[in-house]
Amino acid sequence: MTQSAVLTPSLAQPDQPQTVASAPWIRRIPLRSPTLPPATHTNAYVIGESELVVIDPGSPWPDAQHALVSALRTLESNGQKLSAVVLSHHHFDHVSGAMDLAAAFSVPVWAHEHTARRLGTRPDLRIDEQLREGDVLPFGPRGFSVLHTPGHAPGHICLLDQAGGGLLAGDMVASQGTIIVSPQDEGDMALYLDSLRRLLQLGRQRIWPAHGIAVEEGDKLVGRYLEHRLLRERKVVQALATGADTIDALLPLAYDDTPVALYPLAQESLLAHLLALLTSGQVDAMPSDSSPAAVTYRLRTAR
């Protein structure tokens, strides 16, 4: 069965709720958001039956926020009630509509403690309750368990439907656009790879990403992400083996398949890989002779 075959055809329009017949308690509502191109929308998910939570209302724009509010009002008119807003992590394109929505429905905002910490500096965002690994949110037929999956962001969580509807994967993977691991924003490639491995162990199931449509064989998507990152890590190691030892020298070698226009993003990714290799003991870092502010990287085995 293809992905599109399981989506309710009449609901498969942008900004319209989408669901699957086997798990009607999970509703995907793509909202236009200031996310990273080529993605243009962040999915807000409304999960539950009589009691509902909204995950990642990420649009700061009134028209998109209105679309979500009106979808919730429709559910409310059917006797369903919003109980909380949940944030998968702290990024702008996931949290920007949270306070407006929480205020409109007088509900609390829940997130992991590291997300609360990251958002603590913003007076316009308040986390009322902290979520932890292993918590079960009592929504849907059997609840959703909280998986702490750091790497893309320190407080990143996924929600696993205990009734088999799938995994709400946040920004662990995407079916549209790409996932950035930025050390400047507390991204950690070693943790991200571990979190991908953990999702892979969950086996075959539907994945609901924050960007793009649902993916039925989620293990294949996660496997592709893991493979892609490990391939890149190998290219970074190969680039180091040539004797290149600075970010500037390594970048065109390790990212020779990447357009120059994307180098600023690639540079972040390269640094993330180098820090992961440093953590695993494969690489040493030391101040550059030519510039004390710069760092050089060398393979340990090359000494």
Rounded to a whole number of angstroms, the minimum distance from the CB of residue 248 to Zn ion is 27
Interaction of residue 216 with Zn ion, rule CB under 5 A: no
C-beta of residue 55 within 8 angstroms of C-beta of residue 47: yes
The span of 14-22, 134-142, 163-171, 246-254 binding Zn ion (CB under 5 A) equals 163-171
The span of 21-29, 30-38, 127-135, 168-176 binding Zn ion (CB under 5 A) equals 168-176
Q: Which is nearer to Zn ion, 48 or 170 (CB)?
A: 170
Q: Which is nearer to Zn ion, 58 or 218 (CB)?
A: 58
Q: Which is nearer to Zn ion, 94 or 235 (CB)?
A: 94
Q: Which is nearer to Zn ion, 140 or 154 (CB)?
A: 154
What token pair was written down for 223? Answer: 């496997």
Interaction of residue 171 with Zn ion, rule CB under 5 A: yes
Rounded to a whole number of angstroms, the minimum distance from the CB of residue 90 to Zn ion is 8
Rounded to a whole number of angstroms, the minimum distance from the CB of residue 209 to Zn ion is 11
Rounded to a whole number of angstroms, the minimum distance from the CB of residue 152 to Zn ion is 6
Question: Which DSSP symbol is given to 260?
Answer: G
- CA angle in degrees (0–180, nearest 5) for 7-8-11: 110
Phi, psi for 159 (deg, rounded to 5): -120, 125
The pattern of x and - marking residues 122 through 161 that bind Zn ion according to CB under 5 A reads ----------------------------------------
The span of 9-17, 88-96, 182-190, 220-228 binding Zn ion (CB under 5 A) equals 88-96
Query: CA dist 190 to 149, 153, 223, 253, Å?
Result: 12, 12, 16, 21
Q: Which is nearer to Zn ion, 100 or 171 (CB)?
A: 171
DSSP string, 106-168: T--EEEEHHHHHHHTT-TT----EEE-TT-EE--TTT-EEEEE--SSSTT-EEEEETTSS-EE
Strands 207-209 and 167-170, sheet pairing: parallel
Interaction of residue 186 with Zn ion, rule CB under 5 A: no
Rounded to a whole number of angstroms, the minimum distance from the CB of residue 89 to Zn ion is 6
Burial (CB count <10 Å: 0-12, 13-18, 19+), residue 185: middle
Strands 109-112 and 167-170, sheet pairing: unpaired
Residues 159 and 143: their CA atoms lie apart, in Å, by: 9
Interaction of residue 188 with Zn ion, rule CB under 5 A: no
Q: Which of 91, 148, 232, 273 binds Zn ion (CB under 5 A)?
A: 91
Rounded to a whole number of angstroms, the minimum distance from the CB of residue 261 to Zn ion is 21
Interacting residues toward Zn ion by CB under 5 A: 91, 171
